[in-house]
Amino acid sequence: MAKIGQFIYPWGNGHYSRMMRLNEKLKELGDNEFHYFSKGDIYQKLLDKFPDEKQNIHEVLMPTPIDGKFGPSLRKSLWNFLLPVEGNEPLVTQISSYLKDEGKLYNKIGFDLVINDGDMGSNVLAQRRNITSLFVTNQFKPKLWKSRLYFKPALEFVAKQISKASKILVADSEPPYTMCEYNLNFTKDIQEKVVYVGHFTNEKKIEKGEKGDLEKLVSDSVYGYWMRTGNISTNDGTGERYEEAFHQPELKNEKRIISHAKNDESIDRVLDKDGNEYSISEAYEKKVDWIQIDKGFLSEQEKETVLDLCKYAVVNGSHTVMGEILGGHAKPIIGIPIYDEHTNQIEWIKEKKLGLFAQNRGQIVEAVKQMYENYEEYTDSVKGFSRNFNGNGVSNTTKIVSEILEDKK
């Protein structure tokens, strides 16, 4: 029985989503012992998901950026490198402390293999102990925009820590279909470690049941699917930009479904063009000519239906989400980035004619207009991309894990 550690970076939900899909497949390999590491909301999600494995769920205080109004606050995060900010110890202190705590757990458990999604420090600890480590990522040395060049030393440090993994598994399609291309920029000395395993899409077939009222309500409509994702500041920042755009006269008749990625039924509502509010069931029963539907959390079946029927999707540039939409559903996107990782991916999408880039309400309005005017061009490009999309990241990574464990027998 092998002992496998899964170190999940707690910033946003993408790392968690990838690892949970992988975890389900890994458990098919046999009777192995799994340990999970994270902090904050992700740590709590792990406790809720695995109530019978609480003894194997460990809270480790991995350093994360400090929240701002729209995603991480660059200014506060820079100050925090050497100074305490908003209750956070200086970053250098945090790193030392968390590596010490993580190291103790390494020594206590005695791993055969670790899989690190975003947690670079675990690469260092594994290398020191001669433990095989797999680093799952869609970033290495992201392209920096001119105003952010002062981050270059930090990126060099991050890349150095990533390089210490035994293998670097890119959760994306092989070139030239790599949407995170501008976030990689691998150096020659580590090329032999790099494997493009593919996106970690949901490989399970969704068993569709009877359609709910939401699905019935949208079935004959032309609409955009506006997704809010990420941690609190990223989610709220994305939503604020959406709302600013919705108040522009050019979008007054543009139907939209907004998923909030919050498990809160009080968010659920339907608005008509006069601003009257209904429940989803009431709107369906009354055959309301809706303009906006807000849903706290879509079920898997609802999400599949909404994506299949939408004209386009609007996202903040999340890698996991864009792969699902462009590769899995072949729908063009409008990207509204929150930080540089998003910007790089949306720039790539724009260059490949898979969607449009927007940063403010005026650009969002123009992007919606351009989407309709050039829709055939975008859909043709997206269909070509989708045909070459590798969504087998879970299976391919599981195969790599299986081979490593077999070699250790």
Angle at 134 between CA 132 and CA 138, to 5 degrees: 160
Residue 298 pLDDT more than 80? yes
Query: Out of 10-24, 92-106, 137-151, which region has the weakest mean confidence (pLDDT)?
Result: 137-151
Residue 298 belongs to some domain of the structure: yes
Please tell me the predicted confidence (pLDDT) of residue 250: 95
268 and 304 part of one domain: yes
Residue 154 pLDDT more than 80? no
193 and 317 part of one domain: no
Tell me the mean pLDDT in the region 111-125.
Answer: 95
Residue 8 pLDDT more than 70? yes
Mean pLDDT (the chain) is: 91
Distance from C-alpha of 161 to C-alpha of 163, rounded to nearest angstrom: 5
Residue 154 belongs to some domain of the structure: yes
Question: What CATH number has the domain bearing residue 180?
Answer: 3.40.50.2000
Reported confidence tier of residue 215, pLDDT bands at 50, 70, 90: very high
- Do the Cβ atoms of 391 and 323 come closer than 8 Å? yes
Q: Which two tokens stand for residue 21?
A: 């899909």
Rg (CA), the chain: 22
Please tell me the predicted confidence (pLDDT) of residue 230: 77
Query: Out of 142-146, 189-193, 199-203, 331-335, which region has the weakest mean confidence (pLDDT)?
Result: 142-146
For every residue of 321-366, DSSP letters joined together read HHIIIIIIS---EEE--SSHHHHHHHHHHHHTTSEEE--SHHHHHH
- Nearest partner of 116 among 134, 139, 140, 98, judged by Cα: 134
150 and 223 part of one domain: no
Please tell me the predicted confidence (pLDDT) of residue 20: 96
3-state secondary structure of 196: strand
Please tell me the predicted confidence (pLDDT) of residue 23: 97
Distance from C-alpha of 31 to C-alpha of 33, rounded to nearest angstrom: 7
188 and 227 part of one domain: no
171 and 56 part of one domain: yes
32 and 157 part of one domain: yes
Better-predicted residue by pLDDT, 145 or 89: 89
Cα 26 to its chain centre, rounded Å, is 20
Residue 82 pLDDT more than 70? no
| Identity of the residue numbered 137 | T
Residue 167 belongs to some domain of the structure: yes
Better-predicted residue by pLDDT, 50 or 154: 50
Distance from C-alpha of 346 to C-alpha of 355, rounded to nearest angstrom: 8
Angle at 237 between CA 236 and CA 240, to 5 degrees: 85
Query: Out of 81-95, 213-227, 269-283, which region has the weakest mean confidence (pLDDT)?
Result: 81-95
Please tell me the predicted confidence (pLDDT) of residue 236: 83
Answer positive or negative: Cα dihedral of 283, 284, 288, 294: positive
Tell me the mean pLDDT in the region 16-29.
Answer: 95
Tell me the mean pLDDT in the region 269-291.
Answer: 96
Please tell me the predicted confidence (pLDDT) of residue 98: 86
Q: What is the pTM of this model?
A: 0.91
399 and 362 part of one domain: no
Distance from C-alpha of 376 to C-alpha of 325, rounded to nearest angstrom: 17
357 and 404 part of one domain: no
Residue 106 pLDDT more than 80? yes
Tell me the mean pLDDT in the region 344-357.
Answer: 97
3-state secondary structure of 130: coil
| Identity of the residue numbered 9 | Y
Residue 397 belongs to some domain of the structure: yes
Residue 79 pLDDT more than 70? no
Angle at 183 between CA 181 and CA 189, to 5 degrees: 85
Question: Angle, nearest 10°, between helix axes 152-162 and 121-128?
Answer: 40
The 10s digit of each residue's pLDDT in 34-76 is 999 999 999 999 999 999 999 999 999 887 776 666 666 666 6
Residue 198 belongs to some domain of the structure: yes
163 and 177 part of one domain: yes
46 and 86 part of one domain: yes
Report residue 266: phi and psi, to 5°: -70, -20
Reported confidence tier of residue 381, pLDDT bands at 50, 70, 90: very high
Query: Out of 50-59, 64-73, 277-286, 400-409, which region has the weakest mean confidence (pLDDT)?
Result: 64-73
Question: Angle, nearest 10°, between helix axes 121-128 and 91-109?
Answer: 40
246 and 234 part of one domain: yes
End-to-end CA distance of the chain: give it in Å, rounded.
10
| Identity of the residue numbered 351 | E
Please tell me the predicted confidence (pLDDT) of residue 84: 72
Other CB atoms within a 10 A radius of the CB of residue 194 amount to 14
Residue 208 belongs to some domain of the structure: no
- Which domain does 217 fall in, by range? 213-387
Please tell me the predicted confidence (pLDDT) of residue 96: 79
Reported confidence tier of residue 153, pLDDT bands at 50, 70, 90: confident
The total number of structural domains that make up the chain: 2
Q: How far, CA to CA in Å, does 41 sit from each of 55, 89, 124?
A: 18, 19, 25
Residue 12 belongs to some domain of the structure: yes
Please tell me the predicted confidence (pLDDT) of residue 134: 98
Please tell me the predicted confidence (pLDDT) of residue 340: 82
Residue 188 pLDDT more than 80? yes
Please tell me the predicted confidence (pLDDT) of residue 206: 78
| Identity of the residue numbered 372 | Y
Better-predicted residue by pLDDT, 64 or 129: 129
229 and 363 part of one domain: yes
- Do the Cβ atoms of 39 and 46 come closer than 8 Å? no
Residue 150 pLDDT more than 60? no
